[in-house]
Amino acid sequence: MRKFFGYVWKGLDGLRKTLHLLFLLLIFGFIIGGLSGSIPKIPKKAALVLAPEGEIVEQRSGDPIELAIAEARGDGSNETLLRDLVEALHVAKDDARIAAVLLDLRYTSGAGQPTLDEFARAIDDFRRSGKKVVAFGEAYERDTYFLAAHADEIHLDPMGLVAFEGYDRYRRYYKAALDKLGVDVNVYRVGVYKSAVEPFIRNDMSAEDREESQVFVNALWDTYVKSVATARKLTPEAFSSYVATLSARVQAAKGDASKVALDAKLVTALTSYPDVEQRMIKLVGANDDGDSFADVDLKDYLRVAHAEKKLKKTDGPQVAIIVAAGEIVDGEGKAGTIGGKSMSETIRKARLDDDVKALVLRIDSPGGSVLASEEIYRELLAYKETKRPLVVSMGDLAASGGYYISAPADEIWASPATITGSIGIFGLFPTFNRAIDKIGVSTDGVGTTPLSGVRLDRPVNPAMATLLQSVIEHGYDEFLARVSKGRNKTRDEVHAIAQGRVWAGRDALRIGLVDHLGSLQQAVEAAAKRAKLAEGKYSVRYREPELSWAQEIAQSFKTRTAAIVLRYGGSADPQLLQTVQLARRDFGPLEREVLRLNRAAVPGRLYAHCFCSVR
């Protein structure tokens, strides 16, 4: 009898635990559901409002919780995903509810020209549906005007201006400061144009760096002028004349810069935002409150589009897109970087998925760790052994390690303004013996081999210097071998266009580093064609590092909870926030240089990195 009741008790206790768990899961579900909100409704006739915030990027960086906190504070985001903008326009083109697009460019800081071109192509495609695109800006600079140029109407605030700063490449140089601190940066590199290390060993730009930089910034400006002039139906000469004589024109107009832009036909109207709202009411009608036009923003529109897409989702052949954006680092990559391990795992999962019939690798990277680049390269080779197409689409940057991982592709597509090449390798090792000498500290001792005593507080000995340079040269030869194999060129042919030199996409096409100039969409179509997939008979899916279900729930819960708490009572000193933002702006570039030096200053590690960004 006692044993019987014991079984009963254990059974009841097990039932209690099960019910308790189910009850907790039910409560947790209600919390997540309450924080998620409902699917927004789109008016029967509305304008899609695209107001990119911050930089337009291939892949967002930063911790999701920090992003939620910034959004809850009303600070907005400092990044907008390119794919979100393109997808929204693609869906809206065939959506009867969307009658027009308002392109609000007051809050974006721009992007690289290839990224802007992808967005502009989507705007052009949307306009082919016969629906209007209206752009508004309080002022237009280089990047914002590139986008506005593709609109049907360009509205400029009467107090604004249209000014173009062109492209430039300026860097900070630290040798004099390092000398004062007593720090020696020992550099080992291959390639006369491999200038990534120059800030640490020079006080100015080398002749080789100046030569290549002038060539590719000229190429970027040339493609910019042609693209904008074509979009506005102007001659390149008329546009260039406006840029060259802007100061004189504004002076002659007694400072009325907006009228100068209007007279030059760079904008279609001088209009305040309230007047733009009235224009949009004429196009799409008023909202329910009657105080503005009927609209839906990017975030809400994509929520609806994704929900509707899920209802129609079917299994079948896929062209997978994997985005490789940011510096290439060893191990797991955080948001905004490419981890050798995590990226390889993402490619591996695509390789093992039988529904994936072709792979497009979208690269926007200056490179980084050679070891991590090789890890990714090997996984791409494993994918190619399955006899499925591999196509690379280059964004703003695909240089050094970014080109290394492009090498196995069947086809490489780039924008005319993509910065690519920089085929070269370096390593560096800082030593601080002069710094400690200044304060009366010395280092002495004994060792057993020629490599003993390699320390930060001693000069690099000749044996170690010879070893490091030899390893660098071997790494360069391996880099050349991978490019030679992928590009069907000899080692000498690749060496002649390598040596760390950077090329604009249009020049990279001429010398055979890329196969075609075009968009991501064209690269996807090329991959589908190679896989013999009929148009309309395949889906396109982005593949990203996967979180476990527990990680997804925990991250979603923490992110939404942080947003709710701040929205309903959390606050921070606005003056403090402004001070932090200014500090990040002013000291951010220096901080990034120090972090790069810290990452690179590992004995025996090789780096294929191009510090070739432009402004």
Indicate the domain borders of the chain.
46-162+267-307
pLDDT digits (tens, 9 = 90+) for 94-150: 999 999 999 999 999 999 999 999 999 999 999 999 999 999 999 999 999 999 999
What pLDDT, on a 0 to 100 scale, did the predictor assign at position 521?
A: 96
| Packing angle, helices 298-312 and 82-93, rounded to 10 | 70
| Packing angle, helices 370-384 and 462-487, rounded to 10 | 30
pTM, entire model = 0.84
Q: Which two tokens stand for residue 374?
A: 């090789």
Mapping DSSP to helix (H, G, I), strand (E, B) and coil, where does residue 323 land?
Answer: strand
Look-up of token digits 């493609």: 223
What pLDDT, on a 0 to 100 scale, did the predictor assign at position 126?
A: 98
Which of the residues 195, 369, 373, 400 is marked catalytic?
A: 400
Residues counted in the chain: 615
Say if residues 219 and 517 touch (Cβ distance below 8 Å): no
Q: How far is it, in rounded angstroms, from Cα 442 to Cα 440? A: 7
Among this protein's residues, is 400 annotated catalytic? yes
CATH tag, 46-162+267-307: 3.90.226.10
Q: Which two tokens stand for residue 239?
A: 């546009």
Give which of 171, 173, 196 is closest to 425, Cα–Cα: 196
Say if residues 48 and 99 touch (Cβ distance below 8 Å): no
Taking phi first (over 0 means left), then psi (-120 to 50 degrees means alpha), and beta for anything else, what does residue 331 get?
A: left
What pLDDT, on a 0 to 100 scale, did the predictor assign at position 335?
A: 79
Question: Which stretches in the chain have pLDDT values below 70?
Answer: 1-39, 62-77, 311-314, 546-607, 611, 613, 615
What pLDDT, on a 0 to 100 scale, did the predictor assign at position 20?
A: 57
**What's the number of CA atoms in the CB half-sphere (13 Å) around residue 290?**
0
What pLDDT, on a 0 to 100 scale, did the predictor assign at position 15?
A: 58
What pLDDT, on a 0 to 100 scale, did the predictor assign at position 611?
A: 67
Calculate the dihedral angle through the C-alpha atoms of 394, 320, 353, 350, rounding to the nearest 10 degrees: 30
Chain centroid, CA 347 distance in Å: 19
Q: How far is it, in rounded angstroms, from Cα 542 to Cα 360? A: 9
Residue 224 CA: distances (Å) to CA of 236, 316, 404: 10, 40, 27
Which of the residues 132, 194, 357, 489 is marked catalytic?
A: 194
What pLDDT, on a 0 to 100 scale, did the predictor assign at position 70?
A: 54
pLDDT digits (tens, 9 = 90+) for 529-567: 999 999 888 999 999 876 544 444 444 544 444 444 444
Calculate the dihedral angle through the C-alpha atoms of 164, 109, 332, 555, rounding to the nearest 10 degrees: -170
Among this protein's residues, is 195 annotated catalytic? no
